[in-house]
Amino acid sequence: MGNACEPSTSGGEVMGANYGRQYKFNVMFLCNHNSCRSQMADGWLRQLRGNASVGVASAGIVGGTAVKEGAISVMKDAGIDISTFTSDAMADFNPEDFDVVISCCGCGGKLDGDKEVWKKRPVFQDWNLDDPPAIDPGDLSAYRRVRDESKAKVLELLDMLSKPYGPQYRKNVMFLCNHNSCRSQMADGWLRQLRGNASVGVASAGIVGGTAVKEGAISVMKDAGIDISTFTSDAMADFNPEDFDVVISCCGCGGKLDGDKEVWKKRPVFQDWNLDDPPAIDPGDLSAYRRVRDESKAKVLELLDMLSKPYGPQYRKNVMFLCNHNSCRSQMADGWLRQLRGNASVGVASAGIVGGTAVKEGAISVMKDAGIDISTFTSDAMADFNPEDFDVVISCCGCGGKLDGDKEVWKKRPVFQDWNLDDPPAIDPGDLSAYRRVRDESKAKVLELLDKVK
């Protein structure tokens, strides 16, 4: 299985110097021909990102042409050289390599059919900037105006990406304790440190309200190499519970989340860690702080491990794709759902009713042609999964009749469908046309499924 919380980048290799897995977030700017607006936005982001771990690329939805001289000129006036930028086609990029997709030209409506996957990335925005050459190709005033508008929007984008939580992350975690002064702050610090490039946002707050962060907590976290001295102590009332997928009560104070506050316990994942309160044990003795610090680290590692799974309680809905051996049809459907779900809280797994075998090379090949890498997917047996972990069960191969006896429980989940897709290897193992047809049929069915379960 893949890692649901890893940042984008489907291939193993590092991408070009300006975007790729070496960055925490990757941004794609699109316009019709990658000749003006997307190029200026690209130039601004490279200039303004500073040390922020934000990669960038730009491309044309229709295709690439030469960069407009007017764009080059006004960006040069602003101290940015885009004269060496190439004008590229969107078709030459993989949407999975990007966390944020910006349509600079109001051309999001052109992202339909096979291109719709670009709108399914964690963040999609349509900036709808004017097209300077269409206003007056020889007058630079329109270029200057759009240049300045794109700068302002890039600054807003960078500000959003600098936040420790938000829609740019696939999952967001809220740590709560009474006053956001100790336990929740240490957990917050650990998650920021330990998440690496996992797409997990984090915040912390006090149920009662915020007070100053305890010096003892600051001290023992500093000993562990983590600086929380600049963290603010905030009140839960200042946050929206709908912004978080996971809520952790660090202090056993879940009982205080009643009445209007009960909504915090209704998020997809709620846990009560019930960590001791170090200041209540001995405010002047750091040993309790150290113990709770280490306990919170262990729990944060467990949490990150759970969030790395492609399915589980961190998702509002979980889908299981079944076929005989989990070697072809269920693997393609699994790949499509991961690609097309965007930020929809839908987990996914696939398995073989009879058992798992190697993923078919034909399936890997045709999915790669569609921009989806399933070469690292494992082929697993249904017996290794618990049917109660899934809300939706799809038999990809018309093999629902095999789900009898002890296996019948799989057909009793809230949603069960039998797609009855053809088996490409059974038609002609050496001919990829059947693989391509079934690949496209499974994509259409996955899109229908997502419309129902989102």
pLDDT digits (tens, 9 = 90+) for 234-286: 999 999 999 999 999 999 888 889 999 999 999 999 999 999 999 888 778 89
Residue 36: active-site member: no
pTM confidence score: 0.78
Burial of 365 (0-12, 13-18, 19+ CB in 10 A): middle
Q: Is there a contact between 152 and 172 (Cβ–Cβ < 8 Å)?
A: no
- Count CA atoms within 13 Å of residue 357 on its CB side: 10
Give CA–CA dist 141/123, Å, rounded.
31
CB atoms within 10 A of CB 165: 18
Six-digit token string for 453:
């379960």
Cα angle value 410/390/351 (rounded, 5°): 65
238: helix, strand or coil: helix
Quote the pLDDT of residue 135. Answer: 85
pLDDT averaged over 10-residue windows placed end to end, the chain, 454 residues: 38 62 93 96 97 95 88 98 95 91 90 87 94 85 97 98 92 95 98 91 91 94 98 95 96 88 94 94 89 98 94 93 96 95 89 88 95 93 96 92 92 95 88 95 95 84
| Helices 215-223 & 286-307 angle (0-180, nearest 10) | 70
How far apart are the C-alpha atoms of 339 and 424, rounded to whole Å? Answer: 22
DSSP state of 358: P
Find out whether 326 and 358 touch, Cβ atoms under 8 Å: no
**Distance separating alpha carbons of residues 112 and 110, to the nearest angstrom:** 6
Residue 7's pLDDT is what? Answer: 36
- Which position has the token pair 């269409």? 134
Phi then psi for residue 306, to 5 deg, are: -60, -45
Burial class (CB in 10 A: 0-12, 13-18, 19+), 173: buried
> Closest by alpha carbon to 421, among 404, 438, 434?
438
Quick one: how far is CA 422 from the chain centroid? Answer: 32
The H-or-E segment that residue 374 falls in is none
Using CA atoms, how far apart are residues 35 and 4, in angstroms rounded to an integer?
34
Out of 182, 323, 328, 396, pick the active-site residue.
323
Closest residue by Cα to residue 303 from 222, 228, 247: 247
Amino acid 106: pLDDT: 85
Residue 255 phi, psi (nearest 5): -65, -20
- The answer for residues whose C-beta is within 8 angstroms of residue 4's C-beta and 6 or more apart is 170, 307, 308, 309, 310, 311, 338, 347
pLDDT computed for residue 16 by the predictor:
56
pLDDT at 13: 40
Check if 107 is active-site. no
Residues 63 and 114: their CA atoms lie apart, in Å, by 15
Of 5, 36, 397, 399, the catalytic one is 397
Q: Which stretch of DSSP H or E encloses residue 123?
A: strand 123-126
